[in-house]
Structure formats: C-alpha cells, structure tokens
Amino acid sequence: MAPGATLRLLEPAPGVLAFYDGRIPGVRLHGPQENWLDDGAFALGIASYAVIDGDDALVYDTHITLAHARYIRRTLEERGARRIRVVLSHWHDDHVAGNEAFADCEIIANRETDALLRANRARLETADPPITPLILPNRLFEDRLSLTVGTLPVELVQMDIHSRDGTVALLPGGVLLAGDTLEDPITYVDEPDRLAVHLVGLERLARLGATRILPNHGAPEVIAAGGYGPGLIDATRLYVETLLRLKQEPALAGLDLRAFAAEALAIGAISYFEPYEAVHRRNIEAVLGAE
C-alpha cells in the first residue's frame, strides 16, 4: 500500500492536529520483510502532531515517510500556515523520517537529540527503509525552551524517559505532546540499563501537571477524543517498576503482557493491544540482557 494512503487526520484539542497512521490488521506499507517502519511503528500505530494558530504552525515529529511529512505540510499550508517550525521528540527513526520535507524550516531539538542523530546517522541512512538524506536539527536547546505559536505559548521540556534525549511539549490547558515518553499500553525499552533513571524522569513528567496527554504511540480513538489522563504516567511507572524486579524475580519473565502488566492495566488508563506482546517480550529480553 502507498505510504500515507491510510493516514487519518484527528483534532484532539483546539489548534492541535494529530496525523495518525497504523493499527490496521493485515496492512504493511514497506514490505513483507521485518523492518522498522511496518513492525516498529505502523503495527503499533503512530501519530505526529501539529499546533497551529493563525499563520503560524509547529510540527511535533515528521512521521514515518516523506509522503506522510508532505501531507502534514500541505495540510498546514492549506489551513493558512505561512511559518512552519519543527520539534523533534527524540532521535528514533519513526520520528525523523520525514525531516527532508521540512529542510527549509527551523528544526528544533535538544542538544542530546542532535548528538544522537549525528552518532547514528549512518545507521539511519542505511536502515530498511533508509532515511536519506537525514536532515539534522538547526536550532538546539538545553533543558527547556519557551516558544509562541501564533498567540499560543508552548513549553518544550527535555525528559530522560525511553530515550535520554526526549522532548515533550506542554500546551495551553495542560495538553502534553509526549513523544515516546509514554505509550499505550507499555513503553518500548530502548535503554534497558537506564530504567531507574527513566523512572525518575516519569516523576518529573508527572510534576508538569498535564491534564490531557497525547503520546505518539496510542489508540486512535483515545487520541481523537482528546487524549489520555495522567493515569497514563502511573501505568507506565508501574510497568517499569515491574521490569526492574525481573532479575530478582525471574518467574516474572514467563508472564505474558496481560499478566505482567495486570496492575498497570487495572488503573484503566491503558488498554491491552496484542501487537505489544512482541514489544513486551523484547523488553524482557533487553532488561535481562543488560549489565
């Protein structure tokens, strides 16, 4: 299927657009072989976001293909945007694949994201599918950056969750663009040796006081209805805490996702989604293999 053919435009909050694709059984965009686009993003469902006010727009991640990115840009321009800036939530492939469509724009990232993109540039540009050329950020910040999109204040905050270079965006009304710091139903463990650090990051994230959370990987119906409540942070914390018990309680490794994350699921903030069984199994292997 052609990239972008199944993309859905959602409007979870005033001035906020979600460009959602994936979670479509039996559909693959790139090919039958295992690849990061189909198996790491599309199967789980992925959204990039945009904030627009008047002729000013801010794109939060550039999606999984150039076709997706061009659709985002075209949609914003059709809605009157004349100034478009980009924020990268972190360095991973499914968040930066569309950067080339915004090569003439300001692309904002924290310094850690820039360093990781440069360190992994060859890997990203030779991946399956390749991200080539990889367009790097051209405006960097550390810790926090305050922006205004039209009349809307946007606060970018660096977070050490999922990946050491996370950036979340806090919008008016307590709306939080969360990137991959949070997922429904479970986090994808990319840095298994740093889970304790990520747990501290989750506490810091909770202190931002977000009331509605929009993760990049979540259920489209929940995103369309305005996003997740703060319970998504609690559910993620409970799952990570259980992962940290694995080496002392090896029996946990044999549990499927429903059983392993029973306490997190009981909160009601997340929903079981079968494709995350593979993510869960990979998480367990990564944690048990970490030194």
**Torsions phi, psi of 59, nearest 5?**
-95, 130
Contacts of 59 (CB under 8 A, 6+ apart): 48, 49, 50, 72, 73, 76, 84, 85, 86, 87, 102
- Kindly report, residue by residue over 86-96, the tens digit of the pLDDT: 999 999 999 99
Pick the CATH number of 8-289 from 3.30.70.270, 3.40.50.300, 2.60.120.260, 3.60.15.10: 3.60.15.10
Q: How is residue 267 annotated by DSSP?
A: T
Question: Residue ranges per domain, the chain?
Answer: 8-289
Is 0.75 topped by the overall pTM? yes
Predicted confidence (pLDDT) per residue in 4-17, tens digit? 789 999 999 999 99
Q: Is 142 exposed, middle or buried (0-12, 13-18, 19+ CB in 10 A)?
A: exposed
CB 13 within 8 A of CB 175: yes
CB 195 within 8 A of CB 162: no
Has residue 114 got a pLDDT over 80? Answer: yes
Mean per-residue pLDDT for 210-223? Answer: 98
Q: What is the pLDDT of residue 291?
A: 65
pLDDT tens-digit map of 47-77: 999 999 999 999 999 999 999 999 999 999 9
pLDDT in tens, 125-152: 999 999 999 999 999 999 999 999 999 9
